[in-house]
A and B are shown apart, each in its own frame.
Chain A
Amino acid sequence: MLLFLAASLLSFGQNNVLSVASAPKVTAKAGSTVEAKLTLELRSGYHCNSDKPSDDYLIPLKLTWAPGVLEAGEIVYPKPQMEKYTFSEKPLSVYTGDFEIVTRFKAPSSAPAGLAMLTAKLRYQACTDRMCLPPKTVEVSLPVEIVK
């Protein structure tokens, strides 16, 4: 059973272990601010470094929005968990399981009314207790509707 689990974890290495749920449409009034929430799920048995890892060598989780109809402001990452792994002498600042990232956007007064799509790149690096996957960047989309 343990061997099967270990083999399964390794075979998952071929895939993306972090899934991002389709973001619901955000409606913003021109000239106002709005929040958008991204829901992420990390495969069981994996962790990824938080946005502020415990060690300079570790790769942080980072969300970067491309320029679009909304201006990205503060990005609020969840509070990390401090977890101890067999390979670490001290607890590491990580995310596991389900978590959310919130972005605060500003809709410029000049933003044209209508539908648009914002895109972002989410970079992360995941590990299990005994191996790590290479850093990965996934594209995230956010449907936006600007109203006057």
Chain B
Amino acid sequence: MTPRSLAVVVLTGALCTVAFTGCSSMTSHAAVKAEKDRHAAPDFTLKDATGKAVKLSDYHGKVVLLNFWATWCGPCKIEIPWFIDFQQSFKDREFAVLGVSLDDDGWKAVKPYVDEHKINYRVVVGTEELSQLYGGIDALPTTFIIDRSGRIAMKHEGLVSKGEYQNEILDLLNGKTLQKSAAVPRGVPAFFWTK
């Protein structure tokens, strides 16, 4: 083997190794559900810490990360800085994070936590009824990724990676977007909305 061919073999091997390890160390890309498999996210209205009503259907046209969490849930606390980051990074791209705390003590427990951790997205205190609407939230964190049409594109029970969330959010943000004028709020018959 000539020095030149040896160099080619070594270089090729190195490139293959970099390519392989690079790919294997990446977070696997979990695709969101196909549109035909998505179901409408149940609408709800709850109040945030300031007493202002938060209605899920008001987010129609946006991609929403709906996170059920609690202050006593360790794995939830890992995710919160990620969500703060997503809220900051994607806020100008029709994206929002909405936190639903399932703390029994309500705002007494949640407000200090929100303040202490400088949570930059809206948080509401959930109810048992809301939990049931979403199929019964048995484990925390439970997170729903909701598409621009208000349909559940992904559900995660338990801690997943930041990369996985990010891929799903970007899938939806980069996907086919509804024209705002064409976005029909849930509960409004289409013929009322058609100009």
Contact = CB atoms under 8 A, between A and B. Distances in A.
Given A13-B138, A57-B113, A131 B157 contact: yes
Contacts of A129: 75, 159
B74 A132 contact: yes
Interface stretch (B3-11, B28-36, B65-73, B88-96): B65-73
By DSSP majority rule, is chain A's interface helix, strand, loop, or mixed?
loop
Of the four ranges (under 10, 10 to 19, 20 to 34, 35 or more), the interface on chain B belongs to 20 to 34
A87 B159 contact: yes
A132 B138 contact: no
Contact of A10 (B109, B113, B158): B158
Contact of B139 (A58, A92, A132, A135): A132
Contact of A131 (B72, B109, B140): B140
Contacts, number: 60
Nearest to B157: A10
Nearest to B140: A132
Interface string B50-76: 000000000000000000001111111
A69 B70 CA distance: 38
A134 B102 contact: yes
B28 to A, nearest CB: 13
Given A14-B138, A87-B78, A132 B73 contact: yes
A85 B102 contact: no
Interface string B130-155: 00000000111100000000000000
A12 B9 CA distance: 52
B138 A130 contact: no
B112 to A, nearest CB: 9
Q: Which of B138, B140, B141 has the most CB of A within 10 A?
A: B138
Contacts of A13: 138-139, 157
Contacts of A88: 74
A135 B104 contact: yes
6 contacts: A86-B78, A127-B75, A129-B75, A132-B70, A132-B75, A132-B76
Interface of A: 6, 10, 13-14, 57-59, 85-88, 92, 125, 127-135
Interface of B: 70-78, 102, 104, 109, 113, 138-141, 157-159
